[in-house]
């Protein structure tokens, strides 16, 4: 039977509808003519996205003790998975024949850059043109996080040149800066794009069951790469850790340094000045 996912674009309405149906009910209710123009919002969001990417790469310079402890735990966890890389790879590959074609198709297409950016762009444009503050900010988070994490994994996997399981050379084989696709496995691009998107969307919901469902969808692509023998378990584990770190970093930046809590992006905050002079005393608020 022909899979309904042979055309990648058929994935988009499913994920988009899932996101919008939960967020539209939480939309900020304002008069549209009281908001800045779409062009003004687009410029503001572009600066926000660039700032989020820059913040991701400079964040290690601001790490504190607990951040170094977390990074150390990720390194130790990756090292622990490395011990069972070959055994786990053999087990996952043996399961592929029992995986429904529909699940395999979802895993393959959801981690492709063209499909990922189609989804994230659709979410952002919906938020931009409807001037839905929550959806617009989520779109900025999705695009900037996917870009920051994607560029990082592209450079890293090329620089390290680790062999894929399917190459047959084992987990210790590396060819740094090799142009061969078989030596671009660490970390996993499919995993980073898929789980970055799922984690960023999942953060917008408080319901643990909704979060769990979205995260489960985001884990299909990583699992599919293990079944296909395209990645080791350490590739997947580190990729998920990178996704979480990047999304959290950019989300914190948007919440802290960018003004998505108010309607007008040109208004940063309310300031209060204490004024006193001849015959007058009072407090002036600037909005």
pLDDT at 7 over 70: no
- CA 200, CA 214: separation in Å to the nearest integer? 10
pLDDT digits (tens, 9 = 90+) for 271-284: 444 444 555 544 45
pLDDT digits (tens, 9 = 90+) for 162-220: 999 989 899 999 999 998 999 999 999 999 999 999 999 999 999 999 999 999 999 99
In DSSP terms, 273 is beta-bridged to: 284
> What are the structural domain ranges in the chain?
8-26+33-286
* Nearest partner of 224 among 202, 191, 200, 193, judged by Cα: 191
pLDDT band at 247 (very low <50, low <70, confident <90, very high): very high
pLDDT band at 21 (very low <50, low <70, confident <90, very high): low
What is the model's pLDDT at position 112? 85
CA atoms within 13 A on the CB side of 124: 22
- CA 10, CA 73: separation in Å to the nearest integer? 39
What is the model's pLDDT at position 128? 93
What is the model's pLDDT at position 19? 55
- CA 153, CA 129: separation in Å to the nearest integer? 32
Average pLDDT of 20-24? Answer: 52
- Min mean pLDDT across 9-13, 95-99, 129-133 is at 9-13
Q: Helices 208-227 and 189-202 sit at what angle, rounded to 10 degrees?
A: 180
pLDDT digits (tens, 9 = 90+) for 65-112: 999 999 999 999 999 999 999 999 999 999 988 888 888 888 878 878
In this structure, what token pair is assigned to residue 31?
């008069």
pLDDT band at 55 (very low <50, low <70, confident <90, very high): very high
Main-chain phi, psi angles of 272, to 5 degrees: -120, 130
pLDDT at 3 over 70: no
Tell me the pLDDT of the chain averaged across its residues: 83
Average pLDDT of 47-52? Answer: 96
- CA 88, CA 233: separation in Å to the nearest integer? 7
More confident residue, 71 or 265: 71
Rg of the chain on CA atoms, in Å: 22
* Nearest partner of 3 among 98, 105, 96, judged by Cα: 105
What is the model's pLDDT at position 23? 53
Average pLDDT of 209-235? Answer: 93
Architecture in CATH of 8-26+33-286? Up-down Bundle (1.20)
What is the model's pLDDT at position 5? 38
In this structure, what token pair is assigned to residue 261?
């809590």
What is the model's pLDDT at position 269? 42
pLDDT band at 13 (very low <50, low <70, confident <90, very high): low
In this structure, what token pair is assigned to residue 127?
């938020």
pLDDT band at 286 (very low <50, low <70, confident <90, very high): very low
State the pTM of this model: 0.80
pLDDT at 32 over 80: no
Average pLDDT of 147-151? Answer: 94
Reduced 3-state DSSP string for the chain: CCCCCCCHHHHHHHHHHHHHHHHHHHCCCCCHHHCCCHHHHHHHHHHHHHHHHHHHHHHHHHCCHHHHHHHHHHHHHHHHHHHCHHHHHHHHHHHHHHCCHHHHHHHHHHCCHHHHHHHHHHHHHHHHHHCCHHHHHHHHHHHHHHHHHHHHHHHHHHHHCECCHHHCCCCCCECCCCCCHHHCCCCCHHHHHHHHHHHHHHCCCCCHHHHHHHHHHHHHHHHHHHHCCCCCHHHHHHHHHHHHHHHHHHHHHHHHHCCCCCCCCCCCCCEEEEEEECCEEEEEEEC
* Nearest partner of 181 among 154, 221, 148, judged by Cα: 154
What is the model's pLDDT at position 109? 82
Average pLDDT of 130-143? Answer: 94
Distances 10 to 46, 142, 199 between C-alpha atoms, Å: 28, 20, 21
* Nearest partner of 15 among 222, 206, 216, 166, judged by Cα: 216
What is the model's pLDDT at position 103? 87
């Amino acid at each position: 039977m022909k899979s309904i996912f042979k055309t990648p674009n058929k994935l988009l309405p499913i994920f988009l509808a899932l996101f919008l149906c939960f967020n539209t009910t939480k939309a900020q209710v304002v008069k549209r003519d009281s908001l800045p123009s779409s062009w003004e919002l687009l410029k503001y969001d572009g600066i926000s996205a660039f700032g989020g990417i820059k913040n991701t790469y400079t964040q290690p310079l601001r790490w504190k003790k607990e951040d170094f402890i977390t990074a150390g735990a990720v390194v130790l966890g990756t090292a622990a998975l490395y011990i069972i890389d070959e055994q786990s790879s053999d087990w996952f590959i043996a399961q592929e024949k029992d995986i429904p074609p529909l699940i395999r198709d979802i895993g393959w297409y959801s981690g492709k850059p063209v499909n990922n950016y189609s989804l994230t762009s659709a979410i952002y444009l919906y938020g931009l043109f409807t001037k839905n503050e929550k959806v617009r900010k989520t779109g900025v988070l999705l695009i900037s996080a996917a870009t920051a994490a994607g560029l990082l994994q592209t450079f890293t996997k090329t620089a390290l040149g680790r062999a894929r399981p399917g190459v047959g050379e084992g987990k210790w084989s590396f060819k740094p800066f090799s142009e061969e696709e078989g030596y671009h496995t660490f970390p996993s691009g499919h995993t980073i794009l898929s789980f970055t998107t799922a984690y960023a969307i999942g953060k917008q919901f408080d319901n643990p069951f909704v979060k769990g469902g979205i995260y489960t969808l985001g884990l299909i692509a990583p699992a599919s790469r293990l079944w296909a023998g395209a990645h080791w378990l350490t590739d997947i584990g580190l990729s998920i850790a990178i996704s979480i770190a990047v999304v959290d970093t950019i989300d914190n930046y948007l919440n802290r340094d960018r003004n998505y809590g108010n309607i007008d992006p040109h208004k940063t905050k309310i300031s209060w000045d204490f004024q006193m002079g001849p015959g007058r005393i009072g407090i002036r608020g600037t909005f």
